[in-house]
Amino acid sequence: MSSSYPHVMIPHLLSGPVMLFLTHLLLFEAAVVVVVALLPTVSMGMNKDTELVFDDMPKRTHSLRVVVFLTQGCSGSSWFHSTLVQAAKLEGYAVYSGVTKECLRPSSDRNRFYEEGICDVECAIVKALHEAEKHADYFFIGAMYDFPDSIAQAMAPWKPTTLFYFRANSLNFVSCQVRDCFNKKVGESVDALGSQSNVCFQRRHSNATNFAKLNPEYLKTSLDWNTKNMNKMIDSMDHLKQYGYETNSPVVYDELMTLFEYDTSGVWTTVMREWEKVLFHVGINPAVAERIMRIEIAKLGIRPYIPSSKRLYNHEEVKNTLEELGPPYSNFYHTTIDEYVAFANTITQNRPS
């Protein structure tokens, strides 16, 4: 039988048992090569002490700078964190991403070094810091609600820079908490017909719409809680002096930092100055502030203004309750962008020094 392919002549010596043995040997060697090639990938998923791959990061330019911003849920802290990271990267800094911004929580999902009963939060953050200082210039951390002495002491050798990030409009804060199903005492998450909604926190990642149906009986208490908790967190910095922490941490508000996204006249310079102060405080060139703002506008477009009524199911009842309470409570309810801007502008006058 003829063939267009050249014939390979195999000596008679390699036929039979010898050939079978060599074939098995070659297959075994090939399998070993595949397993060895896969070992780093397998160990990456199984060994929490294995370092991540940081090939996509620029070469670090200075020793690690740790920035801790104390915040609360529903304060816009995720956006603030991502924008800080973007600012650092625009200046060519390497930013650590081996754990999430909420790495001070007891969760292996947020800090992969955490292991219940083996490596607690203090142990986990120290491991993350040691890894970060090998690869990064910056490590941005969000401390939710408190910054315990034990964690502050564990992080002290890295001399963290601290600041506060809050949402000043307590009504927006409370309605967000209720819509996320975090605060069921003051109200419930409902759909457009007033029926209970289970969208909760996932509303951020879906097209579903839900509203906060607030209980007027607990409204004042909830609004006061936000303000008192912000002040409590600010006052808590004093006791950190014993660990060498700075105590001149700026208080930053989401309403001011994001105001430029609403395409309102006369606020661009005000917002840019706020960003410049924050960037200077954390050691990033303040001149990058305007670039950040323009990039955000180009990336996300103009943010649509949302009046209070679009977040609240029983908005008329809430509005009447706030009007009866008078200022500052009545100032939290806004129906136009001008009212929202006016509220934001009052923050610069009333914020803690």
Instruction: Return the ∠ at Cα 234 (arms to 178 and 76), rounded to 5°.
Output: 40
pLDDT band, very low/low/confident/very high, at 18 (cuts 50, 70, 90):
very low
Q: Is the pLDDT of residue 198 over 60?
A: yes
pLDDT at residue 236, as a whole number: 80
Q: Is the peptide bond before 307 cis (omega within 30 degrees of 0)?
A: no
Tokens found for residue 251: 């208080």
pLDDT band, very low/low/confident/very high, at 14 (cuts 50, 70, 90):
very low
Q: Are strands 161-166 and 251-253 parallel, antiparallel or unpaired?
A: parallel
pLDDT at residue 178, as a whole number: 94
Q: Return the SS3 of 196.
A: strand
pLDDT at residue 108, as a whole number: 97
Separation of alpha carbons 182 and 170, rounded Å: 15
Give the list of residues 6+ apart from residue 271 with CB closer than 8 angstroms, or none. 256, 257, 258, 259, 260, 293
Average pLDDT over residues 169-192: 92
pLDDT at residue 162, as a whole number: 93
What does the pLDDT look like over 230-260, one tens digit per residue?
988 888 888 888 898 877 889 999 999 999 9
pLDDT at residue 59, as a whole number: 52
pTM for this predicted structure:
0.80
Tokens found for residue 8: 């390979």
Q: Is the pLDDT of residue 23 over 70?
A: no
What does the pLDDT look like over 263-306, one tens digit per residue?
777 888 989 999 999 999 999 999 999 999 999 888 888 888 99
Low-confidence winner among 28-37, 192-201, 307-316 (lowest mean pLDDT): 28-37
